[in-house]
Amino acid sequence: MSSERPVFRHPQAAKNSAGYSRKDYEGAISTLCAGCGHDSTTNAIIQACFELAIEPHRVAKMSGIGCSSKTPAYFLGRSHGFNAVHGRMPAIAAGANMANRELLYIGISGDGDTASIGMGQFAHALRRNLNLNYICMNNGCYGLTKGQDSATADRGSAGKKGEPNPYSAIDLCKLAIELGASYVARGFSGDKQQLVPLIKGAFAHNGLAFIDVISPCVTFNNTSTSTKSYEYVREHIEATNTFDFIPLQQEILAHYPEGTSQEVVMHDGSIISLHKSEAGKEVTSRRLALDGLEEEKAKGRLLTGLLYVDPQSVDTHDIVNSTLRPLNTLGEADLCPGGATLAKLMDGWR
Amino acid sequence: MNNIARTNDFVVRFANVNGSGSASANNLFAKAIFRMGVPVSPKNIFPSNIQGLPTWYEVRVSDRGYLARRGGYDLAVAVNGQTLLRDYLDLPPGGYFLYDSTRELSADFDRKDVTLLPVPLTELCNTAFEHPKLRQLLKNIIYVGALASLLDMEFTVLTEAVERQYAKNAKLAGPNIKALELGHDYAATHLAGRCQLKVQRIDGVGERILVDGNTAFGLGALYGGATVVGWYPITPSTSVIEAFEKYCRKFRVEQDGGRRKVAILQAEDEMAALGIVIGASWNGARAFTATSGPGISLMGELLGLGYFAEIPAVVLNVQRAGPSTGMPTRTQQADILSSAYASHGDTKHPLLFPSDPRECFEMAADALDLAERLQTPVLVLSDLDLGMNDNLSPPFTWDDGRRYDRGKVLSHDDLEQRQEKWGRYLDVDGDGICYRTYPGTHPAKGSYFTRGTSHNEYSGYTEDNVIYQTGMERLTRKWQTAKSLVPGPVLAMRDATSPLGAIFVGSSAAAAFEAFDLLAEKGIVINAMRLRAFPFADEVYRFIKAHRQVFVIEQNRDAQLRTLLVNEGDVDPAKLPPVLHFDGLPITATTICAQIEALLSSNRQTPTQDGGRR
């Protein structure tokens, strides 16, 4: 069930440059458990869209199946949404994106949806570099079916049932970098300050932006024995960088914060300026990104932040060399060669 | 010895090794007969293998226009050592055996009722041509030249065909023509008068063309305005996409910049292929995929989503012999049930059944209209025989006044002017079809949330039992609407008073009509109905009612079309005796005749309770 929010809006509510208030980016009231990490992630998405002044109807929300995949009902209520089939969000998002390259696509998935049943589609969406803001709300367990371990659960981690997970975990960020992702980040639903810029950067990215959001399940996997609990994540988090996202419209006015050690100019001209904890870690190096993840893992830490970005990324449309016009706007004049041409083709088969 | 002596009515069987370049030589032969105005039907019988295994190519020549596989052959062109003896032994008495006499035949080849046509192919070829790679290809062309002489074919038709084929590569035309001449001259000198099979120019082809169904599918999808394709390679459907892509390179390139007005994605599997199609269709682009049986199985879950969330999708299913991997390079009509009822829950999908390349072309385009009009997946069922073999077909036409039927879609202005509240699943017109919107249409109106879970008329999530059931009932109403939109059956009445009828679909048609001619000669008169779509029109059940017995002819073991007929209408199953063929080769008239005659004679032995008058 989802219920609608009251339509009342405070007359003095702040509006963004597109004339929308923050409320215009909200959706129905969440039916997830109180305290669910996904709701915080949802809020970060709302915040990012509001701050970027994205027109809500220019966004299409895609998702698979699972607790996380329910969340598109809870943000951007003015956008079209598609809660599809378990593990198949990437393909459906690919088709949608091929039909109209002018919209923004946000794909919501979870660790079961991405790392198990949808692993193949995840991998191939990355290979194709679909222009999609792919957010995986990762809680290490299957919530809707009551707490089974997922493929991202760490070995030895135990949820509410108390049985330690015997299998090794899939690190989706490492995998994404290996598979050719062009924007890879990890956030924590409990750290909105870091998460909102990561989402904004993803919107500016031309290609698949993958954000693995550690998003604890309060009901089934928030135990003291779980490595995906709020407490554990807070204690073991290691931010690779903090950054400011400067959208294109503000570029000229931008005041670059002090201590910036690296700037990345995105495809649309937006700028990500990174505040580094350590010097020398190039966020545009695939190899260094993987090294960073490995190093922190060896220390028992979970690396978060923007892990890798390829600002020169080329998306699926450019790979298949499709028209700059939305394909769904083309009609007979563009698509059909007509009767006379057909008659000529017939001669080739005589 | 009585040699088979026939003009314009015989079968030649080429026995080759696959991957040896025989296909183009054999095609050249078939095309030459076609260009002499004689109806011809070539069928490729090939293994699931790229190189080295036996492959056959049967060419039926029929001045009466019978285009089904006939069964048997009168002349073997045997150039595959592995099958040489079998190709020889399977000849009927009076048949002809053309072979490469560079090597002598063994003592096993001792039939007295077969005429040998020895041509030293290897020797002729190696003497005339230096290039080792060319030698292998041209050896095949030499036997075509020999056949031209043996069958009294117009030699210029062949040389012109070669010149046309190599118009852009004149270097290759020369050696090919020389090879044709070598074979022709050898046969004229050494084998004159030995063969009593002849090809004689007639006017039996008219406007018709010779093309494979998969090419027609690809071209139909292009004409129908498909702009997004998700696909996964699977025999025998792969060439549908290859053809579509070929025509896109020709017709879908923008003048300035060379970008393409299409997006073709080779997917990671068939689930993703259909996912791409559904995503694109949801977002207002015309999209399709092509697949075969195993692909349909994988697409099952998404077909259910498309049905329940009401999203258009077009699936071109080129059927092959199953189950499982089955016989990937052999033909069947065995996905009828799996396509009609694909997915979990109560689902059914409109099916279209083309029976020649023209219908493949038309139905690919029509399916795009139907899917959008009905907001549901539509499957078009061809098969390997129709899809991969060249079929004689009426030419394709396109009415330039035709507009794509995009179905019930609300534009920005529609939403702006609308007074009443819009609901995605609100049946305003009473035909079960609701109005949809594309994402991004309007800043404030018309957005909705699509889901495979149950929804109310305003696309809100619900588990309310009454709302769910009402929604399912509306989908039934939509199914009734579909009945009036899909192409109706084609009736061929021989005699309205005859108690016997037959029903069939797709590539079974040619063999069925030939069988009815043969049966008519024996006084068995059969009225025919070729179905072109599911849901079945009421007319189909009236046809069944009007006959005592209606044979359901199809190419699968389990009588799937018959099951569908029994399941979907008020009909006594006993009235529908099945006529089945499922060995992986295209069905023949002989098979149909034999089964119908057997069924009729068993009728006589065991009269029904009411004395056979029903």
A192-217 pLDDT, tens digit each? 999 999 999 999 999 999 999 999 99
Residue B88 · residue B112 · CB < 8 Å:
no
- Any idea which residue has 């790679």 for tokens? B133
> Tell me, what DSSP letter sits at residue A223?
S
- Number of A to B CB contacts under 8 A, please give it: 228
Tell me the helix, strand and coil percentages in chain B, rounded to 5: 40, 20, 40
Which of A103, A120, A328 is the closest to B285 by Cβ?
A328
Q: Which residues in chain A have Cβ-Cβ distances shorter than 8 Å to B287?
A: 95, 99
What's the rounded mean pLDDT across residues A86-105? 98
- Any idea which residue has 């006499």 for tokens? B101
Q: How far is B211 from chain A (nearest CA, A)?
A: 6
- Any idea which residue has 């036997």 for tokens? B143
CB atoms within 10 A of CB A255: 8
pLDDT of A91: 98
pLDDT of A2: 52
Q: How far is CA B372 from CA B225, B314, B368, B485, in A?
A: 12, 9, 6, 12
- Measured CA to CA, the distance from residue B371 to residue A158 in angstroms comes to 48
Q: Is the pLDDT of residue A248 over 90?
A: no
- Measured CA to CA, the distance from residue B97 to residue B108 in angstroms comes to 14
Q: How far is A40 from chain B (nearest CA, A)?
A: 21
Q: Residue B101: is it exposed, middle or buried by C-beta count within 10 angstroms (0-12/13-18/19+)?
A: middle
Conformation bin of residue A222: beta by default, left when phi > 0, alpha when psi is -120 to 50: alpha
What's the rounded mean pLDDT across residues A94-112? 98
Residue B207 · residue B395 · CB < 8 Å:
yes
Interface subset of A 287-346, CB within 8 angstroms of B:
316-317, 320-325, 327-328, 330-332, 334-339, 341-343, 345-346
- Measured CA to CA, the distance from residue B204 to residue B194 in angstroms comes to 27
Residue B105 · residue B206 · CB < 8 Å:
no
What tokens appear for B526 in the block?
């059969």
Q: How far is B445 from chain A (nearest CA, A)?
A: 8
- Measured CA to CA, the distance from residue B439 to residue A96 in angstroms comes to 9
Residue A183 · residue A309 · CB < 8 Å:
yes
- Measured CA to CA, the distance from residue B538 to residue A300 in angstroms comes to 70
Q: Which residues in chain A have Cβ-Cβ distances shorter than 8 Å to B214?
A: none
Average pLDDT taken over every residue of chain A: 91
Beta carbons within 8 Å of A26's beta carbon, 6+ residues apart:
A5, A46, A74, A75, A76, A77
* Phi, then psi, of A32 in degrees rounded to 5: -75, 170
Task: Say how many residues make up chain B.
Answer: 614
CB contact under 8 A, B272 and A90: yes
Mutate to test the interface with B, among A130, A328, A330, A344 (most CBs of B within 10 A): A328
CB atoms within 10 A of CB A144: 14
What tokens appear for B144 in the block?
């075509």
Residue A4 · residue A28 · CB < 8 Å:
yes
Beta carbons within 8 Å of A227's beta carbon, 6+ residues apart:
A140, A153, A154, A156, A157, A233, A236
Question: What are the strands, taking DSSP E only, across B143-300?
Answer: 197-198, 209-212, 228-231, 263-266, 287-291
Q: How far is CA A236 from CA A126, B429, B546, in A?
A: 28, 59, 79
> Tell me, what DSSP letter sits at residue A157?
-
Would you call B382 helix, strand, or coil by DSSP? strand
The single-letter code of the amino acid at B53 is: L
Q: How far is A70 from chain B (nearest CA, A)?
A: 10
- Measured CA to CA, the distance from residue A246 to residue A264 in angstroms comes to 10
CA B358 to chain centre: 10
Which of the four pLDDT bands, split at 50, 70 and 90, describes residue A9? low
Average pLDDT taken over every residue of chain B: 96
Residue A242 · residue A305 · CB < 8 Å:
yes
Q: Which residues in chain A have Cβ-Cβ distances shorter than 8 Å to B225?
A: 330-332, 335-336
Residue B436 · residue B410 · CB < 8 Å:
yes
Residue A141 · residue A217 · CB < 8 Å:
yes
CB contact under 8 A, A349 and B287: no
CB contact under 8 A, A322 and B279: no
H or E stretch at A206:
none
Would you call B351 helix, strand, or coil by DSSP? strand
CB contact under 8 A, B275 and A335: no
H or E stretch at A253:
none
The single-letter code of the amino acid at B27 is: N
CB contact under 8 A, A121 and B35: no
- Measured CA to CA, the distance from residue B307 to residue B303 in angstroms comes to 6
* Phi, then psi, of B27 in degrees rounded to 5: -60, -40
H or E stretch at B452:
none
What tokens appear for B222 in the block?
């292009």
Residue B446 · residue B413 · CB < 8 Å:
no
- B36 vs A: CB within 8 A: no
CB contact under 8 A, A80 and B442: no
ipTM of the complex: 0.95
Q: What is the pLDDT of residues B170-227, one digit of tens each?
A: 888 999 999 999 999 999 999 999 999 999 999 999 999 999 999 999 999 999 999 9
Beta carbons within 8 Å of B590's beta carbon, 6+ residues apart:
B70, B71, B515
Would you call A154 helix, strand, or coil by DSSP? coil
- Measured CA to CA, the distance from residue B333 to residue B563 in angstroms comes to 13
How big is chain A by its Cα radius of gyration, in Å? Answer: 21
- Measured CA to CA, the distance from residue B332 to residue B505 in angstroms comes to 12
What tokens appear for B332 in the block?
């069947």
- Measured CA to CA, the distance from residue B343 to residue B349 in angstroms comes to 10
Task: Say how many residues make up chain A.
Answer: 350
- Measured CA to CA, the distance from residue A114 to residue B372 in angstroms comes to 31
CB atoms within 10 A of CB A265: 16
Low-confidence spans in chain B with pLDDT less than 70 = 606-614
Which of B227, B271, B439 is the closest to A103 by Cβ?
B439
What's the rounded mean pLDDT across residues A54-69? 97
Residue B459 · residue B423 · CB < 8 Å:
yes
pLDDT of A281: 62
Task: Output the DSSP codes for B206-237.
Answer: TT-EEEEHHHHHHHHHHHTT--EEEE---TTT
H or E stretch at A194:
helix A192-204
- Any idea which residue has 């046509």 for tokens? B117
Q: How far is B195 from chain A (nearest CA, A)?
A: 28
**Which chain A residue has its CA at the smallest distance from B36's CA?**
A350
What tokens appear for B331 in the block?
């033909």
Residue A177 · residue A184 · CB < 8 Å:
yes
CA A191 to chain centre: 16
CA B553 to chain centre: 16
Q: What is the pLDDT of residues A209-238, one digit of tens each?
A: 999 999 999 999 999 999 999 999 999 988
CB atoms within 10 A of CB A264: 21
Beta carbons within 8 Å of B460's beta carbon, 6+ residues apart:
A2, B449
List the helix and strand counts (H, then E) for chain A. Answer: 12, 13
- Any idea which residue has 């040998």 for tokens? B116
Which of B287, B395, B462 is the closest to A95 by Cβ?
B287
- Measured CA to CA, the distance from residue B449 to residue B460 in angstroms comes to 7
Q: What is the pLDDT of residues B459-503, one digit of tens each?
A: 999 999 999 999 999 999 999 999 999 999 999 999 999 999 999
Task: Output the DSSP codes for A11-28.
Answer: TT--B-TTS-BGGGGB-S
* Of A273, A275, A306, nearest in space to A288 by CA: A306
> Tell me, what DSSP letter sits at residue B100?
E
Q: How far is CA B43 from CA A183, A305, B239, B370, in A?
A: 52, 61, 16, 32
